[in-house]
Amino acid sequence: MTSLVLDNVCVDFPIYGIQRSLRRVLFDRATGAFVQHDRDRVTVKALRNISFTLREGDRLALVGHNGAGKSTLLRTIAGVYQPVQGRILINGTVTPLFDVLPGIDPEDTAYENIRTAGMLFGLSPAEIERIMPDVEEFSELGEYMGLPVRTYSTGMTMRLGFAFATAMEPGILLLDEGIGAGDARFLERAAKRLEDFIGRSRIVVFASHSNALVQKMCNKAALMQGGRMLAIGGVQDILERYDVLVRGGGVGAAIEGAAVPA
Amino acid sequence: MQLEVKARPWTGSFEDPVRLHLMTAREDLVGGLRRYDLWGRLGWLEIKRRYRRTMVGPFWACISLLLFVIVIGSVGSGLLSKQSAEYLPFLVAGMVVWVMLQSTMLESVNVFVAGSSLIRQMNFEYSVLVYSLVWRNVIVFAHNLLVYLLILLIFAPGKLGFANLLALPGLIIMAVNCAWISLLLGMVSLRFRDLQQLVMSIVQVSMFVTPLFWPPDGLEGLRRVFFVELNPLYHLLTIVRDPLLGGKLPAANSCIAATLITIAGWALTYALFAKYRKRIPYWL
């Protein structure tokens, strides 16, 4: 059974500024001040003590202000950032969708880009060939598929990326908001396809500012603020708490009586 | 604010085993090597891209090398009072190898920066980026061999033969070395951005101090020890260049040196990669 466990996960981002220079480190080493410099090393505590457990069928929405740590949490689950503390336990494959077409190169054609991206996601050549007609059909790029991506409009590139991403068989799906765009007609088709795609996933973690989407897609939600997970629970309950937080009710009011994340 | 969430180890259980979500340096290097279809493709696409919309494509590298060898070759054979028939083959055999070493070093300082969008997107074998860099330089090397063949056919057809294939083991050793050089330089210069400039000047200088334009026997005493015997680039160069010049077996000391360099280089790189692999995304 697919599962995802975060156990007391913390992530710090070191901010490299002047001390990024080799000269400074060598100089400091030579002057014996190397160890002392830790105190003016700036780190941002991006995630603090995040713990939760998701089982097959769980669809978790992450809500919170910009900079609350939603994207960092998604990238940490994706394995991009290793936690400085705590651990992540996983059963299943992770499908991260942040940039829809990873490794995209404007000089390559759509076919070439799909093959590269497919390989990056670990698809076999046979699997890539299998999804190709689906991508061709859904993106409606027609003859453009054989042209370099640099000749595409922004909307066309988006369509290609979206068509590719949603053609895959997702395991533990990590979605950042803002996936999918295009003209109105495409948006309508995209919404249906996205729903279907999320439905096929074993577990979904989804960062979004759209309450409507969250209510429709998710069965759980978590409220994030300042790198902490303040509360986790039912979608309606968490959205109401977020509302309190947005209206300036303060963190205390927002988490009053909430289930402690575990 | 009473917000500290206490650290509690996870004690739940599942029927199926869960695994820790992280990749070790060994998994990265070995697993990355197995994804030859991916790094093969990435390396190849990069070559294609570089020359897209040009008329002669990757042969531009050959043309500039040919020009270089002919011009420097005629100046050099005059300066060193050597026959063109002797000097040009020596120069071209050295240059095809040098170009591979040089461009590997110059490109490796950017290997992780160039892959940053991928590194920020997913957890994959970072070594794939390194292998694809080495692979595309092998492809360029193969193109440049045409220049080598041309010059040898014109100036010293007698030095061509099946024995020249002895360069192949040397080439493999060099590619293995290019991989650690690329990984090491990529990692260190990602953390310390000054290194890019430093590597550039070192590469530039070493082109002249390594016996590439002049025969190693031209130096004597301490200078020879320093610039020839103790120069790792010389030994890597020699194990490929010597067989390319009439199927000569490279000197035993160069073979031993190249082996030692390979072991020491990989040992150092592996140790650093094992320790700092997980920091790479934070350094971007």
Amino acid at site A87: R
| H/E stretch holding B14 | none
| Whole-number Cα distances in Å, B128 to A231, B17, B133 | 40, 28, 9
| Contact (CB<8Å) B38/A80 | no
- Taking CB atoms and an 8 Å limit, are A79 and B19 in contact across chains? no
Contacts of B281 in chain A (CB under 8 A): 80-82
Residue A50's DSSP bridge partners are A9
- Choice between B181 and A89, residue whose per-residue pLDDT is larger: B181
- pLDDT the model gives residue A156: 87
* pLDDT tens by residue, B225-259: 888 889 999 999 999 999 999 888 888 999 999 99
Q: Which of B5, B15, B278 sits opposite A1 (nearest CB)?
A: B15
pLDDT at B68 over 90: yes
Supply the pLDDT for residue A27: 57
In angstroms, the separation between the Cα of residue A84 and the nearest Cα of chain B is: 10
**pLDDT score, position A31:** 47
Give CATH for domain A3-92+209-255: 3.40.50.300
| Contact between A119 and B192 using a beta-carbon 8 Å cutoff | no
Q: Maximum Cα–Cα distance for chain B, whole Å?
A: 85
Intrachain domains A3-92+209-255 and A97-201 with the same fold: yes
Q: Give the tokens for residue B28.
A: 């990265």
Superfamily of domain A97-201: P-loop containing nucleotide triphosphate hydrolases (3.40.50.300)
Q: How far apart are CA B36 and CA B27, in angstroms?
A: 15
CB atoms < 10 A from the CB of A59, how many?
Answer: 20
Domain boundaries, chain A: 3-92+209-255, 97-201
Cβ contacts (< 8 Å) between A14 and chain B: which residues?
282
Mean pLDDT of the residues in chain B = 89
Instruction: Please check whether residue A206 is in contact with residue A62, taking contact to mean a CB–CB distance below 8 angstroms.
Output: yes
* Residue B134 · residue B179 · CB < 8 Å: yes
Chain B neighbors of A18, CB-CB under 8 A: none
Per-residue pLDDT of chain A (262 residues; tens, 9 = 90+): 889 999 899 998 887 765 545 656 665 555 443 333 455 567 788 899 999 999 998 999 999 888 888 989 999 999 999 998 898 989 888 888 887 688 888 888 999 999 999 998 888 999 999 999 999 998 888 899 999 999 998 888 888 888 898 898 888 989 887 654 556 677 778 888 888 888 888 999 988 878 887 888 889 999 998 889 999 999 999 998 898 888 876 777 777 766 655 4
Asked if the model's pLDDT at residue B269 lies above 60, the reply is: yes
Q: Best residue in B21, B38, B132 to probe A by mutation, most A CBs within 10 Å?
A: B21
Contact between B105 and B198 under an 8 Å Cβ cutoff? The reply is no
pTM, to two decimals: 0.88
Given this model, what pLDDT does residue B16 score? 59
User: How many CA atoms within 13 Å lie on the side-chain side of B190?
Assistant: 25
Cβ <8 Å between B118 and A91: no
Q: For a pLDDT cut of 70, what percent of chain B falls above it?
A: 94
Asked whether residue B158 carries a pLDDT value surpassing 60, the answer given is yes
* Interface contact A102, partner B, CB < 8 A: yes
Evaluate whether ipTM surpasses 0.90: no
